[in-house]
Structure 1
Amino acid sequence: MVTSILKSALAAASIISFASGQILSMPTPTYTGLANTPTQVGCFSRSEPLVDQGTHQYQTDGICQRMCLQLSKPVMAMVDGSNCWCGDLKPPRDSEVDVNECNTPCNGFGALPCGGPSKWIVYLTGITKNQIEHYEPEASSAVVASTAAPQTASTPAVTLGGPTVVVTVPGSEPTQTGSKSESSGPNTAGIAAGVVVGVVVIAAIVGGVYFFLRQRKRKAVEEEYKRNAAANEFIGGKPPGTSHSSLNDARLDPEAMMHRRQSDGSIADNQDYSRRILRVANPDRGY
């Protein structure tokens, strides 16, 4: 009976220890990128604003660095030889102590210190080249207090011919009448720019239309000249532009036309002048 009770107690203790180990243990980092050599900052008695990532059975600065790089944190710290902490800022400057107080060996490598009892040895992970500042709790609390302070409105006193009446006016934002009146006025620069752009656009349109009409007229003249040249070349071979160019009549006798004057008049259309005709005439009549 006693033996069974002892076995049950041992089993329960092992289960509790296993569960506790699962809760507090840090997962193995999965970061596979390049990692620079961590830069030691110092030993600190406070950890703010770093966050505990848990303990590791084989904790070293390399394992803690990979965990913080996986979280994209520039600051890492180790404490009690096993726990890894990560954050964006270094602990407060006034909490820095002698580095010899961080003398607890790491679980995974005894020759390397991993903090001390309630002492954090802080490193820079090397994820950035920017300057990392110290956490200042006074400045943070001052900012929070200034943002959380309520705005109290003034309580003017109004006297109405007797006892003093206090009227509480809720706080409101001041009305910026001057800026509104200025902004409501016409924007002279905008109007001037619009006029200039409009004039430029109209000038461009007019110029484009003029250029188009001029090109079309020039093309029409060139086409007419080509048609006249082709017609004259087909008819007589004379160049275009001569004022005396005319069609050649096949009925005209070249030799007879050479002895005729220009003012003899036109020929009859019902006669054929293409060949010579023998005519019989009475010489006594004189023709």
Structure 2
Amino acid sequence: MTSNDDARTCRRLPGRRALVTGGSRGIGAAVARRLAAEGASVAINYHSNAQVAEALAAEISATGATAVAIQADIADPEAVGTLVDESAERLGGLEILISNAGIEHFGALREITPADFDRVFSVNLRGQLFAAQHAARHVGAGGSIVLMSSVSASTQIFDHTLYASSKAGVSAMVRNLAPELGRRGIRVNAVAPGGTATDMATEFAHRYRHPDMPELPPETAMNTMNALRRLARPEEIAAAVAFLASDDASYVTGSTLAVDGGYF
């Protein structure tokens, strides 16, 4: 048996069909690549950057896997339903949902507006709920739904209340969906990444610093906040997602897996 044969034998998701929301960049793009490398066909959801999403789909397709790019605004529940249905149609079915789309927010209590609340929760919590709801219409026994929480859901960060609350809701969601979906043989879990080397981290890393701490380069400040003293690579988060999506996690449901480098 050749080494290529060995690699194919080790793939954990052969023949599976997966939708990755927010899949065109950052963690989502790494997840799409990893699932395809594991043997899955992948629908890559994007909000506005069609060029980037189509390029990623072409990159994955060039490896011999199946990948399609589909536009949808995750903040719109009707659009989410259409996205899931189109993904299932174009892939020929659906066994996996990776609900990755999310937006960041920092703001002191006195600054938060109802519009801020609606914007953050419509994507980070409501969008994930309805993605799971619509995916559950297609996913059958043995399927997996993975939502995206955050280390912020279980720690204290200045001016991060709105975002952290939305992500804490995700962890509560998977705990309570687990027994309902478990009756149908569907597992549902979440991943809670820590600081990850993405464009979002570059933009917001300085906001994770305690205001009384001395000024440090943003990445240096982030690196002092976890045991491994570095940001995660998107591929490391994707590896955890692929584990939860696969049969290697066949007895894991209702859980939030922290992938945070030992955040403290």
TM-score (norm 2): 0.20
Larger Rg, first or second structure (1 or 2): 1
TM-score, normalized by length of structure 1? 0.19
Structure with bigger RCO (C-alpha 8 Å, 6+ apart): 2
Which has a greater percent of helix? Answer: 2
